[in-house]
Amino acid sequence: MPQLEIKNLHVSIDDKEILKGLDLTVEQGRVHAIMGPNGTGKSTLAYTLMGHPNYTVTAGEVVFKGQNILELEPDERSRAGIFLAFQYPVAIPGVTVANFLRSAINARRRVANPEDKGMPIPEFRKMLKEKMDMLKMDRNFAGRYLNDGFSGGEKKRAEILQMATLKPEIAILDETDSGLDIDALRIVSEGVNALAGPELGVLVITHYQRLLNYIKPDVVHVMMGGRIVESGGPDLALHLEEHGYDWVREKYEEAA
C-alpha cells in the first residue's frame, strides 16, 4: 500500500519558520484529519505539499513511492497519484469541466504508457456520467467552463469531481477558515465519504471541528506550533469539540 510519509518537515515563509519538524504518515485506504488552532501552520503544510513557491523547505522530506515529492513539480506530483485540492481554484474560460478532466486523465495515462492514445470518448462519457451520478451532480455541470462564474459550492463540487475521476492514491484537502459555509463543508464531506475506500488515502486539514461531524476520520491529529503534537482516533475530535485546544496547549507548552 503506498503511503505518503512526511518526515521532519521544516518550512519557512520569509525566513520565519512555520513548520518545525512535522512528522506524519498517510496510508492509502485511511482518512486522516489534521486539526489545530489558527496560525499553527496547517495551510502552510498544504501549500508546501502542493509546491507553492513562497514556502521554503529548509529540512525534511515527503516520500511517496520511494520518491521525495518535494523535488517534483506540482503536475508531476499529480501524475504520481497525489491529489491536491486548491482552495482558490483558477477559472479557465473556454475549457469545459469535461475537457479539463479528460486532459488530466490522459496526461496520467501517458505517464503509465507513453504510447497511450487517450481514453476513448464513449468510455470517458460513461465514466464521467457514473461519477457525476455518484456525487449527485447536475449533468449540465460537465459542459460549463471550469470555475468560470462558479459559486463557492460549485468550485467544491468541481474539485471533488476531479478527485473522483483522477482516482488519486492520496488526496489532500485544506479547508481553510475563510469562505467555507456549511454547504461547502457538506459537499466536501459527502464527496470524501463517497470516494473513501481501500484505494484512497485522505488528509483533510481543517480548523472546523464541524467538518468531522460529516467526515469520519480513522485518525485525528492535532497540530500546534508547526508540529503534530497529538494523534488519536475519532474520539479525539469529539474531545476537542467539547474542550477546545487549551489542554493540548498546556501539555505542549509544558513539554517544550
Ligand X SMILES: Nc1ncnc2c1ncn2[C@@H]1O[C@H](COP(=O)(O)OP(=O)(O)O)[C@@H](O)[C@H]1O
To the nearest 10°, report the CA torsion of 247, 238, 213, 165.
Answer: 70
**Selected binder of ligand X within 30, 36, 81, 202 (CB under 6 A):** 36
- Binding status of residue 12 toward Mg ion by CB under 5 A: no
Taking phi over 0 as left and psi of -120 to 50 as alpha, with beta for the rest, 202 belongs to beta
Name the DSSP class of 215.
S
- What is the rounded distance in angstroms from the CA atom of residue 35 to the CA atom of residue 236? 10
**72, 77, 81, 86: CA torsion to nearest 10:** 160
Q: Which does 25 bind (CB under 5 to 8 A by kind): ligand X, Mg ion, none?
A: none
Closest approach of Mg ion to the CB of residue 55, in Å: 13
Q: Which residues pair with 57 in a beta bridge?
A: 11
Smallest separation, CB 47 to ligand X (Å): 7
Q: Does 6 bind ligand X (CB under 6 A)?
A: no
CB closer to Mg ion, 137 vs 173 = 173
- Binding at 221: pick from ligand X, Mg ion, none (beta carbon under 5-8 Å per type): none
Report what 38 binds from ligand X, Mg ion, none; CB cut-off 5-8 Å by kind: ligand X
Task: Examine residue 206 and tell whether it contacts ligand X (CB under 6 A).
Answer: no
Are the C-beta atoms of residues 97 and 142 closer than 8 Å to each other? yes
- Of 38-46, 80-88, 234-242, 243-251, which part binds Mg ion (CB under 5 A)? 38-46
54 binds ligand X (CB under 6 A): yes
Which amino acid, residue 249? R
User: From the CB of residue 63, how many other CB atoms can be counted at a distance below 10 Å?
Assistant: 15
Does 42 contact Mg ion by CB under 5 A?
A: yes
Contact 31, 202 (CB under 8 A): yes
Q: Which stretch binds ligand X (CB under 6 A): 41-49, 72-80, 83-91, 150-158?
A: 41-49
Rounded to whole angstroms, the Cα distance separating 147 from 236 reads: 36
Size of the site for ligand X (CB under 6 A): 12
Chain contacts with ligand X (rule: CB under 6 A):
13-14, 18, 36, 38-44, 54
Chain contacts with Mg ion (rule: CB under 5 A):
42-43, 176
